[in-house]
Amino acid sequence: MKEEIAKIKENSIKEIDTCKDLKSLNDVRVQYLGKKGELTIVLRKMGILSPEERPVIGSLVNEVRDELERLIQEKEKQLKKEELLKKLRTENIDVTEPSKKTKLGSIHPITQIIKEVEEIFLGMGYEIADGPEVEKAIYNFDKLNTPPDHPARDVQDTFYISDDIVLRSQTSPVQARVMENQKPPIKIICPGAVYRSDSVDATHSPVFHQIEGLVVDKNIAMTDLKGTLEMFAKKCLGENTKIRFRPHHFPFTEPSAEADVSCFVCGGKGCRVCKQEGWIELLGCGMVHPNVLRNCGIDSEIYSGFAFGFGVERIAMAKFGIEDMRLLFENDVRFLKQF
Ligand code: DAH
């Protein structure tokens, strides 16, 4: 039996040595050390040995098994190393090959206008304020001097969450929130989404965006409002832009006005964009109503202010020559990537 074991040892060592890959090494392992392997079979035959021989042969087999396991492990390490080197040699990476370009998106036209307007007003020392889109009716209406029977409060026009909570129909409630939380001087703009119960068509959408402006300080006059808006119009729409004010009514301003700008496409001669008018309606504005100041805890005897608000979509459409507002919300990339 000793010779048999010696033979197994000799053969297996040779075979391990000549293995060229991990697969054949594993085959050798199974052939000698596996459940039905040659060395295992020797162990099973120990029954025929005398009690004196058994421990001798047993420890011999164990010795050989340990040795084979060690050799196989070593060989395995060596083969793995060789395989890695081979891989590294054949699969070299060309670092000069141009990479796949990730497609860059573009900034949505509405966001572009908001950012541009923010930059202009930041440059004039304004801060950017924010307020909730789900708003208390008291902020959207009451504090802004808009009484309960005002038509804008009708369920036909405004989305009600409950009797006293609405989806804000304008960014103006942010005025009230800022005045309640901040002492004058106040100089803010507030961009954001607003909601109205309008059906969708080329110029209407139940959700759109506005930018609100508010200035409150001592001695603020209508001339400050006009100068500010003129400066804004020139920066946003071009140096040659003219601005005109028409009397209007808003509950939260007195006096109130609407402002038009000379058409920045035709310069005022009349074209498709301005519908042959030469002017484009831009925004609503006015001097903050003393009731609004009082409602928000500001002494209207000491302070005065102006406010304005305008629709972002309207400016985006005029500036980018977009004729249908729906395109701004459909978010078709073929449309969006043009801007
Ligand atoms: N909130 C008004 C609207 O949605 C726009 C507006 C008009 C805002 C006059 C103002 C303002 O701040 O003074 O039609």
Domain boundary among 60, 90, 120: 90
Same-domain status, 53 and 126: no
Least confident of 7-16, 44-53, 79-88, 109-118: 44-53
Claim to verify: residue 175 and residue 288 sit in the same structural domain: yes
Residue 144: band (very low, low, confident or very high) from pLDDT cuts 50, 70, 90: very high
Q: How far is the CA of 328 from the centre of ligand 1 (A)?
A: 22
Predicted local distance difference test score (pLDDT) of residue 264: 83
Q: Determine the atom of ligand 1 nearest the C-alpha atom of 172.
A: 1
Q: Does pLDDT of 91 surpass 90?
A: no
Residue 320 has phi, psi (to 5 degrees) of -95, 0
What Rg do the C-alpha atoms of the chain give, in angstroms? 41
Query: Residue 309 C-alpha to ligand 1 middle, in angstroms?
Result: 4
Q: Is the CB of 158 under 6 A from ligand 1?
A: no
pLDDT confidence tier of residue 89, bands split at 50, 70 and 90: confident
The DSSP secondary-structure symbol of 206 reads S
How many domains does the chain divide into? 2
Q: How far is CA 3 from CA 9, 42, 61, 62, 65, in A?
A: 10, 11, 12, 15, 15
Asked if residue 86 and residue 113 are part of one domain, the reply reads no
Cβ of 146 closer than 6 Å to ligand 1, yes or no, is no
In a domain? residue 104: no
pLDDT, one tens digit per residue, over 27-76 is 999 999 888 888 888 888 888 888 888 888 888 888 889 999 999 999 99
CB of 170 within 6 A of ligand 1: the answer is: yes
Q: Does residue 253's CB lie within 6 angstroms of at least one atom of ligand 1?
A: yes
In this structure, are 28 and 116 located in the same domain?
no
Report if residue 95 sits inside a domain.
no
Do 231 and 183 belong together in one domain? Answer: yes
120 and 56 fall within a common domain: no
Maximum CA extent, the chain = 122
CA distances to 40, 65, 180, 219 from 293, in Å: 98, 95, 9, 14
Of all protein residues, whose CA lies closest to atom 10 belonging to ligand 1? 308
CA of 250 to the centre of ligand 1 (A): 7
Instruction: Report CA(252)–ligand 1 centroid distance (Å).
Output: 8
Question: Is the model's pLDDT at 117 over the cut of 90?
Answer: yes
Model confidence, pTM: 0.72
Same domain, 127 and 77: no
Give per-residue pLDDT as tens, 264-277: 888 889 988 788 99
201 inside domain = yes
Q: What CA–CA distance (Å, rounded) separates 301 from 184?
A: 13
Structure-token match 């073929």, residue found = 334
Q: For residue 71, give its domain range.
A: 2-90
Confidence of residue 156 (pLDDT cuts 50, 70, 90): confident
| 97 part of a folded domain | no
Same domain? 147 vs 289: yes
